[in-house]
């Protein structure tokens, strides 16, 4: 099924989009940041870093937020717009984007229960918010509960031998959990490189399971430059191939919503 037919039309009704890398280093945090930033050009979006002990999103933005998930945790049963406003980053001029990150100090992060993420997503849905969460990569009950709360999942793969092996394992797991063409998109990141044979294996694997697939170009230099200045790639290089691909994904989401 092409990406333009993704059934994520209820995103603007307060749904949750998950981003999961099949392994570390495949670009899932960068994708989550840029997807949320692109969506935030037209609506309010919460970006949640689900990696409690090794958060990456604040690092990608080069910020140390004054408030974080530790501050919200005791108040998750009564989230308010004012609480979320304290998580905004006005110094970054990110528009409608709010970042909710675990503490960047490990000792503080260890005090947060993993189930705080589950409760956080529930609270954000009650506020009718769109949320993008960079999911943890450890398969445990917390991740299962997080996956169960999603309206759509983006699974990030790259064309390397370790990544394709990890992808095969994850695809089986998420298939068993009931994710299918309408709520799952496979993202082949850094596409168009030298590993064409492995890319072919990935394409065949996805085709056999009838999943959506989109490709993101390997814009390494632009990604690196964006990280240096601490801004999303869709803002620093809106015309690069990576940004154009992301905007096509967002456009397809908006189009499907308008048709519902």
Q: What's the predicted TM-score (pTM) here?
A: 0.90
Q: What is the mean pLDDT of each run of 10 residues along the chain (260 residues)?
A: 36 78 94 94 92 94 93 90 90 89 92 93 90 94 93 92 90 86 86 83 80 86 91 94 88 58
How far is residue 49's CA from residue 58's CA, in Å, rounded to a whole number? 9
Break the chain into its structural domains and give their ranges. 3-259
Q: Residue 218 has which token pair?
A: 């390997």
* Residues in Cβ contact with 162 at an 8 Å cutoff, skipping those fewer than 6 apart: 23
| CA–CA gap between residue 113 and residue 133 (Å, rounded) | 17
- pLDDT of 253 reads 62
What is the Cα Rg of the chain in Å?
17
Residue 142 and residue 118 in contact, taking contact as beta carbons nearer than 8 Å = yes
- DSSP 8-state code for residue 102: -
The CATH architecture one would assign to domain 3-259 is 3-Layer(aba) Sandwich (3.40)
Contact 201, 174 (CB under 8 A): no
Residue at token pair 């997503």: 121
């Amino acid at each position: 099924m092409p990406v333009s037919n993704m059934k994520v039309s209820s995103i603007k009704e307060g749904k949750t989009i998950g981003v999961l890398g099949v392994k570390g280093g495949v670009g899932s945090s960068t994708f989550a940041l840029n997807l949320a930033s692109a969506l935030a050009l037209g609506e309010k979006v919460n970006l949640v870093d689900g990696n409690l002990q090794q958060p990456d999103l604040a690092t990608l933005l080069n910020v140390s937020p004054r408030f974080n998930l530790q501050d919200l945790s005791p108040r998750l049963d009564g989230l308010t717009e004012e609480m979320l406003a304290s998580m905004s980053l006005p110094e970054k001029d990110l528009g409608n984007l709010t970042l909710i990150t675990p503490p960047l100090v490990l000792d503080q992060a260890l005090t947060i229960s993993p189930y705080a993420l589950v409760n956080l997503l529930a609270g954000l849905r009650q506020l009718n918010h769109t949320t993008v969460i960079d999911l943890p990569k450890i398969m445990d009950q917390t991740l299962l509960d997080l996956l169960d709360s999603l309206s759509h999942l983006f699974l990030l793969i790259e064309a390397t031998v370790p990544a394709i092996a990890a992808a095969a394992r994850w695809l089986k797991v998420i298939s068993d959990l009931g994710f299918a063409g309408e709520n799952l998109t496979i993202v082949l990141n850094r596409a168009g490189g030298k590993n064409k044979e492995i890319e072919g294996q990935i394409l065949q694997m996805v085709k056999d399971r009838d999943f959506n697939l989109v490709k993101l170009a390997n814009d390494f230099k632009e990604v690196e430059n964006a990280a240096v200045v601490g801004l999303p790639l869709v803002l620093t290089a809106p015309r690069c191939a990576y940004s154009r691909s992301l905007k096509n994904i967002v456009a397809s989401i908006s189009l499907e919503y308008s048709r519902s």
